[in-house]
Amino acid sequence: MATMSGSITVWVNDLMLFASNDAMMEHMKKSIESKWQATDLGEPSKIIGIKITFMLRSLRISQQKYIKNLLRKEKMAEANLVSMPLDPNIQYLANTTRPDISYAVNKLGSYTANLSLEHYRSLKRILRYLAGTKDFGITSEVPR
Protein backbone atom coordinates (compact mmCIF):
# COMPACT_ATOMS: atom_id res chain seq x y z
CA MET A 1 0.00 0.00 0.00
CA ALA A 2 1.39 3.43 -0.98
CA THR A 3 1.83 5.93 1.79
CA MET A 4 0.43 9.39 1.36
CA SER A 5 1.70 12.46 3.08
CA GLY A 6 1.31 16.16 2.67
CA SER A 7 2.08 19.46 4.30
CA ILE A 8 0.88 23.04 4.10
CA THR A 9 3.12 26.08 4.39
CA VAL A 10 1.39 29.41 5.17
CA TRP A 11 2.49 33.01 4.50
CA VAL A 12 -0.14 35.51 5.69
CA ASN A 13 -2.95 34.67 3.23
CA ASP A 14 -0.99 32.44 0.82
CA LEU A 15 -0.68 28.68 1.12
CA MET A 16 1.74 26.31 -0.53
CA LEU A 17 0.78 22.65 -0.54
CA PHE A 18 3.24 19.77 -0.71
CA ALA A 19 2.03 16.22 -1.30
CA SER A 20 3.61 12.85 -1.94
CA ASN A 21 1.20 12.15 -4.81
CA ASP A 22 -1.64 13.63 -6.87
CA ALA A 23 -4.39 11.99 -4.80
CA MET A 24 -3.12 13.56 -1.58
CA MET A 25 -2.79 16.95 -3.31
CA GLU A 26 -6.40 16.81 -4.50
CA HIS A 27 -7.58 15.75 -1.04
CA MET A 28 -5.81 18.69 0.61
CA LYS A 29 -7.15 21.16 -1.98
CA LYS A 30 -10.73 19.93 -1.54
CA SER A 31 -10.45 20.11 2.24
CA ILE A 32 -9.29 23.72 2.08
CA GLU A 33 -11.86 24.71 -0.54
CA SER A 34 -14.67 23.19 1.56
CA LYS A 35 -13.96 25.69 4.35
CA TRP A 36 -12.51 28.78 2.63
CA GLN A 37 -12.58 30.55 -0.68
CA ALA A 38 -9.39 29.54 -2.48
CA THR A 39 -7.74 29.96 -5.87
CA ASP A 40 -5.24 27.43 -7.23
CA LEU A 41 -2.43 29.42 -8.85
CA GLY A 42 -0.58 26.31 -10.02
CA GLU A 43 3.07 25.50 -9.40
CA PRO A 44 4.92 28.43 -7.83
CA SER A 45 8.00 30.02 -9.39
CA LYS A 46 8.93 32.16 -6.39
CA ILE A 47 7.99 32.44 -2.72
CA ILE A 48 9.40 34.87 -0.13
CA GLY A 49 12.36 35.66 -2.40
CA ILE A 50 13.26 32.03 -3.08
CA LYS A 51 13.16 31.02 -6.76
CA ILE A 52 11.58 27.62 -7.39
CA THR A 53 12.48 25.74 -10.56
CA PHE A 54 10.67 22.52 -11.50
CA MET A 55 12.59 20.11 -13.69
CA LEU A 56 11.67 16.70 -15.09
CA ARG A 57 12.42 14.71 -11.91
CA SER A 58 13.69 17.37 -9.54
CA LEU A 59 12.95 20.65 -7.81
CA ARG A 60 15.50 23.43 -7.25
CA ILE A 61 15.35 26.35 -4.82
CA SER A 62 17.81 29.22 -5.12
CA GLN A 63 18.31 32.91 -4.25
CA GLN A 64 20.32 34.40 -7.13
CA LYS A 65 18.60 37.83 -6.99
CA TYR A 66 19.20 38.15 -3.24
CA ILE A 67 22.89 37.30 -3.70
CA LYS A 68 23.25 39.85 -6.52
CA ASN A 69 21.67 42.55 -4.33
CA LEU A 70 23.89 41.63 -1.37
CA LEU A 71 27.04 41.78 -3.51
CA ARG A 72 25.99 45.13 -5.03
CA LYS A 73 25.24 46.56 -1.57
CA GLU A 74 28.68 45.50 -0.34
CA LYS A 75 30.31 46.85 -3.54
CA MET A 76 31.50 43.35 -4.45
CA ALA A 77 29.49 42.69 -7.63
CA GLU A 78 32.76 42.44 -9.59
CA ALA A 79 34.70 40.59 -6.87
CA ASN A 80 37.46 38.10 -7.54
CA LEU A 81 35.87 34.65 -7.39
CA VAL A 82 36.85 31.82 -5.06
CA SER A 83 35.83 28.17 -5.26
CA MET A 84 35.18 27.63 -1.52
CA PRO A 85 33.48 29.91 1.04
CA LEU A 86 36.22 29.58 3.68
CA ASP A 87 39.90 28.83 3.48
CA PRO A 88 40.27 25.14 2.50
CA ASN A 89 41.79 24.37 5.91
CA ILE A 90 38.54 25.34 7.69
CA GLN A 91 35.40 23.15 7.57
CA TYR A 92 31.97 24.30 6.41
CA LEU A 93 28.45 22.70 6.52
CA ALA A 94 24.75 23.49 5.67
CA ASN A 95 21.81 26.00 5.57
CA THR A 96 18.64 27.03 3.58
CA THR A 97 19.27 27.29 -0.20
CA ARG A 98 23.05 27.64 0.21
CA PRO A 99 24.15 24.98 2.67
CA ASP A 100 27.68 25.43 1.36
CA ILE A 101 28.06 28.76 3.23
CA SER A 102 26.15 28.06 6.43
CA TYR A 103 29.08 26.97 8.52
CA ALA A 104 31.27 29.82 7.28
CA VAL A 105 28.63 32.43 8.13
CA ASN A 106 27.84 30.89 11.52
CA LYS A 107 31.54 30.61 12.35
CA LEU A 108 32.11 34.28 11.55
CA GLY A 109 29.02 35.21 13.58
CA SER A 110 30.64 33.74 16.67
CA TYR A 111 33.33 36.45 16.50
CA THR A 112 31.00 39.48 16.55
CA ALA A 113 32.14 40.51 20.03
CA ASN A 114 35.83 40.49 19.01
CA LEU A 115 36.12 41.25 15.28
CA SER A 116 39.46 41.57 13.54
CA LEU A 117 40.72 42.30 10.03
CA GLU A 118 41.01 38.52 9.50
CA HIS A 119 37.26 38.15 10.10
CA TYR A 120 36.48 40.92 7.61
CA ARG A 121 38.71 39.18 5.02
CA SER A 122 36.83 35.92 5.70
CA LEU A 123 33.51 37.68 5.14
CA LYS A 124 34.75 39.13 1.86
CA ARG A 125 35.88 35.64 0.84
CA ILE A 126 32.35 34.33 1.40
CA LEU A 127 30.98 37.16 -0.75
CA ARG A 128 33.55 36.46 -3.49
CA TYR A 129 32.51 32.80 -3.39
CA LEU A 130 28.84 33.80 -3.73
CA ALA A 131 29.74 36.04 -6.67
CA GLY A 132 31.10 33.01 -8.50
CA THR A 133 28.30 30.65 -7.48
CA LYS A 134 25.19 32.85 -7.51
CA ASP A 135 23.38 30.37 -9.78
CA PHE A 136 23.78 27.53 -7.26
CA GLY A 137 20.78 26.21 -5.34
CA ILE A 138 19.39 23.00 -3.90
CA THR A 139 18.11 20.36 -6.31
CA SER A 140 16.02 17.48 -5.07
CA GLU A 141 14.38 14.57 -6.84
CA VAL A 142 10.57 14.78 -6.71
CA PRO A 143 8.01 12.21 -7.83
CA ARG A 144 5.93 13.30 -10.80
Q: How far is CA 15 from CA 23, 26, 48, 49, 142, in A?
A: 18, 14, 12, 15, 20
Tell me the C-alpha distance between 127 and 98, whole Å.
Answer: 12
Q: Residue 59 pairs with which residues in a beta bridge?
A: 54, 140
Neighbours of 98 (CB within 10 A): 24
Domain ranges of the chain: 6-60, 63-140
- The band of 11, judged by pLDDT with boundaries at 50, 70 and 90, is low
Greatest mean pLDDT among 3-12, 95-104, 119-128 lies in 119-128
Tens digits of residue pLDDT in 44-86? 888 888 898 988 888 888 999 999 999 999 999 999 998 887 6
